[in-house]
């Protein structure tokens, strides 16, 4: 106690740091008892994936590649050598298509993978090499990120606890815009594909926004899916269920425009404005309506 009395300035700083840590990392949040932490595919407390794509659409060979990418991602590995004969590939193009399918399934099933950003590949001298791209290479950053994001989600759940589904959907759409910016400079940087950048750094691109929206909707009890595909170029967005029907939800539009007074701001909630979007692997998803979500 004497130390604190003799050093009031240091005491104030320590109190401030302690308060920051408490507010952002150590406040008690509800533990989701439905999460199966013993699952070999359990990633973190943010999200319990039902691995819908893995279980319903992948062949046994697809699952092996999915598992290979996931296992190496969790170990922060960057390079995987693929034996074409072992997987029964006729050529490297066949292998590349196979990896794309398994990787897309992983991307959709596990938006909570904070450090995984994607991959690239090369084929030289009859050797196929897969290069995994990470947002960062720090397990401590993963652990601290989970704690931080848990608090953000807890605050969102508290803010929306008395809202109906329509109000929650609009709230999340606006929350994305109010708490994030679109990174036009480093658009293709690995970090921008991660939910870590959305919740902690508040700066990302469509992949980060779609995956973060998926995490939030699931925690609020709203059925939703991450979607890869094309709009004006490669894009990611969500499908959400509202009153028994399915619609597109694109928070990248709200983040990009920011201004709620703009005629275009709410286009990410208007199905008619997104009917020209093209889904990758549309068989993975329920049928989407062609009319607007909130036309009642």
pTM for the model stands at 0.86
Domains and CATH numbers, the chain: 52-134 (3.30.1370), 139-284 (3.10.620.30)
Residue 138 in tokens: 């720090």
* Residue 14 pLDDT: 45
Over residues 42-82, the pLDDT tens digits come to 788 888 788 999 999 999 989 999 999 999 999 999 999 99
Helix (H) or strand (E) holding 128: strand 127-134
* Residue 9 pLDDT: 59
Over residues 115-172, the pLDDT tens digits come to 888 899 999 888 899 999 998 888 888 889 999 999 999 999 999 999 999 999 999 9
The residue assigned the tokens 């920011």 is 258
- Contact between 195 and 112 under an 8 Å Cβ cutoff? The reply is yes
Task: Place 1 in a pLDDT band, splitting at 50, 70 and 90.
Answer: low
* Residue 4 pLDDT: 44
Q: What is the dihedral sign for C-alpha 139, 45, 207, 196? A: negative
The residues that bridge with 234 in the sheet, in sequence order, are 230
Task: Place 295 in a pLDDT band, splitting at 50, 70 and 90.
Answer: confident
Indicate whether 204 pLDDT > 80: yes
Judging by DSSP bridges, how do beta strands 203-204 and 181-182 pair with one another? parallel
């Amino acid at each position: 106690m004497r130390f604190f009395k003799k050093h009031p300035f240091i005491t104030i700083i320590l109190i401030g740091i302690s308060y920051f840590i408490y507010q952002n990392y150590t406040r008690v949040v509800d533990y989701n008892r439905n999460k199966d932490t013993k699952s070999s595919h359990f990633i973190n407390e943010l999200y319990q994936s039902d691995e819908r794509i893995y279980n319903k659409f992948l062949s046994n060979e697809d699952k092996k590649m999915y598992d290979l990418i996931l296992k190496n991602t969790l170990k922060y590995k960057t390079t995987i050598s693929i034996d074409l004969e072992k997987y029964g590939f006729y050529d490297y193009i066949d292998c590349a298509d196979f990896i794309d399918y398994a990787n897309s399934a992983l991307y959709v099933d596990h938006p909570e993978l904070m450090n995984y950003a994607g991959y690239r590949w090369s084929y030289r001298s009859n050797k196929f090499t897969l290069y995994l791209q990470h947002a960062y290479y720090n397990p401590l950053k993963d652990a601290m990120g989970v704690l931080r994001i848990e608090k953000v989600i807890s605050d969102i759940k508290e803010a929306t606890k008395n809202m109906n589904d329509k109000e929650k959907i609009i709230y999340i759409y606006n929350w994305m815009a109010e708490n994030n910016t679109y990174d036009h400079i480093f658009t293709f940087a690995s970090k921008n594909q991660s939910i870590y950048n959305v919740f902690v750094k508040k700066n990302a691109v469509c992949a980060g926004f779609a995956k973060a929206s998926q995490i939030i909707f699931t925690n609020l009890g709203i059925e939703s899916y991450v979607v890869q595909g094309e709009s004006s170029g490669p894009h990611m967005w969500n499908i959400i269920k509202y009153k028994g029907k399915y619609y597109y939800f694109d928070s990248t539009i709200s983040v990009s425009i920011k201004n709620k007074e703009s005629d275009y701001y709410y286009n990410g909630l208007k199905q008619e404005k997104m009917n020209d979007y093209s889904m990758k692997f549309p068989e993975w998803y329920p049928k989407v309506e062609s009319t607007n979500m909130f036309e009642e």
